[in-house]
């Protein structure tokens, strides 16, 4: 699939590693196009799935690290969210825009994706596909090989760069045509349809929504923190994250070092085994004392015991260990 041939048109695909993006690449390749692909890495999704799928079909793949810029889109998407915190229209448009800039600098002829008309009612209907193409700024360079014959003809087909009759007419939610095509093209190893993007998960989305409401300038490290431990909202200005097991304590320790200086205090009960707590809030006062009491309560101290809690920076707080339920924070 990767052979260079100066006669062949070159296309760059946005590639999630899902079956549709694999098939779109293979269909174009079969139609005589030299395909390469790009995938994206952010705090919300990684590149591992795309890398495995690309390897399986011999597709040259590059990875773009776009965490901070993608996060700004997630914070304020012009076209809103799906059923969770997934801004799919703006996200897809961003991916095409990024890929379009690569196309322009590296001499690709057009872009493609594995989108299927009607597969996702909100983000892949005809209107949504047109909106994505328009706001990406590369409308006339986007081809969706799996649904092309259900969509308006593109300049690539009109000019003969790709023959329309070699493209497909898939639409709707059924996966059967894709599975049949996968068998025909020898694709035996592909991931399950859903998954791969934390923004579509209700639990993660709840935490993210809380973060963005209370800390609109949060960066990538604050988002990474959402993936570990119990998250307790103590007040509008204070949050506590408590490790649930040793591996999480280690992850929290590492992330504490990536947060802006002064943003987080580490809390640890002294003399009794217990978890690491990361406290984000005012460095004095009731919220901090409550956080320390909860961290003590998650350790081996009995509720009501007086415990010394060490605070990063050298301070020590004397608190009465409290069970989380009695301390009444909101569990995110
Ligand atoms: S599911 Fe996630 S990665 Fe995919 S378009 Fe939506 S927000 Fe972007």
Provide mean pLDDT across the span 197-212.
96
- Place 122 in a pLDDT band, splitting at 50, 70 and 90: confident
For 39, residues 6+ apart whose C-beta sits below 8 A from its C-beta are 14, 15, 16, 17, 47, 50, 51, 54, 61, 62, 63, 64
Ligand 1 atom 6, closest CA: 88
- Closest ligand 1 atom to residue 45 Cα is 3
Provide mean pLDDT across the span 25-30.
98
pLDDT digits (tens, 9 = 90+) for 54-71: 999 999 999 999 999 999
Ligand 1 atom 2, closest CA: 197
Report whether pLDDT(215) > 70.
yes
Instruction: Report the pLDDT value the prediction gives residue 303, as an integer from 0 to 100.
Output: 82
Position with higher pLDDT, 301 vs 104: 104
- Place 251 in a pLDDT band, splitting at 50, 70 and 90: very high
Instruction: Report the pLDDT value the prediction gives residue 327, as an integer from 0 to 100.
Output: 67
Ligand 1 centroid – CA 172 distance (Å)? 18
User: How far does Cα 182 stand from its chain's mean position?
Assistant: 26
Average pLDDT, the chain: 93
Ligand 1 atom 5, closest CA: 88
**pTM of the full structure:** 0.91
Fold classification of 10-198 is Rossmann fold (3.40.50)
pLDDT digits (tens, 9 = 90+) for 274-320: 999 999 999 999 999 999 999 999 988 888 889 999 999 899 999 99
Residue extent(s) of CATH 3.40.50.620 domains in the chain? 10-198
Instruction: Report the pLDDT value the prediction gives residue 29, as an integer from 0 to 100.
Output: 98
Question: 260 phi and psi, to 5 degrees?
Answer: -55, 145
Cα 292 to Cα 45, 230, 277, 311, 320: the distances in Å are 33, 14, 8, 9, 9
Residues whose beta carbon lies within 6 Å of some atom of ligand 1 = 45, 86-88, 91-92, 197, 199-200
C-alpha 224/C-alpha 258 separation (Å) is: 10
User: Hey, what are 320's tokens?
Assistant: 């009465």
User: Hey, what are 234's tokens?
Assistant: 């103590």
End-to-end alpha carbon distance in the chain: 46
């Amino acid at each position: 699939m990767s052979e260079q041939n100066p006669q062949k048109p070159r296309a760059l695909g946005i590639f999630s590693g899902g079956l549709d993006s694999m098939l779109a690449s293979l269909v174009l390749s079969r139609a005589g196009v030299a395909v390469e692909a790009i995938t994206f890495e952010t705090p919300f999704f990684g590149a591992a799935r795309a890398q495995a799928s690309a390897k399986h079909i011999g597709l040259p793949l590059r990875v773009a690290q776009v965490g901070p810029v993608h996060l700004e889109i997630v914070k304020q998407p012009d076209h809103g969210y799906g059923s969770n915190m997934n801004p799919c229209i703006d996200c897809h448009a961003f991916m095409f825009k990024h890929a379009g800039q690569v196309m322009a600098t590296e001499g690709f002829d057009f872009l493609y994706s594995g989108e299927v008309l009607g597969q996702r009612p909100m983000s892949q209907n005809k209107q949504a596909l047109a909106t994505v193409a328009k706001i990406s700024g590369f409308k006339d360079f986007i081809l969706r090989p799996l649904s092309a014959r259900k969509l308006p003809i593109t300049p690539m087909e009109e000019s003969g760069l790709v023959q329309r009759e070699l493209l497909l007419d898939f639409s709707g939610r059924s996966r059967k045509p894709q599975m049949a095509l996968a068998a025909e093209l020898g694709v035996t190893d592909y991931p399950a349809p859903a998954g791969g993007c934390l923004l579509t998960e209700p639990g993660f989305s709840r935490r993210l929504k809380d973060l963005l409401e209370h800390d609109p300038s949060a960066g990538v490290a604050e988002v990474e923190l959402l993936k570990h431990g119990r998250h307790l909202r103590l007040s509008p200005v204070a949050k506590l994250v408590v490790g649930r097991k040793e591996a999480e304590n280690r992850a929290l320790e590492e992330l504490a070092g990536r947060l802006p200086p002064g943003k987080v205090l580490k809390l640890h009960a002294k003399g009794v085994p217990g978890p690491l707590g990361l406290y984000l809030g005012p460095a004095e006062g009731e919220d901090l004392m409550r956080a320390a009491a909860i961290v003590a309560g998650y350790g081996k101290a009995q509720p009501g015991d007086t415990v010394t809690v060490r605070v990063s920076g050298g301070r020590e707080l004397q608190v009465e260990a409290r069970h989380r339920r009695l301390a009444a924070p909101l569990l995110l």
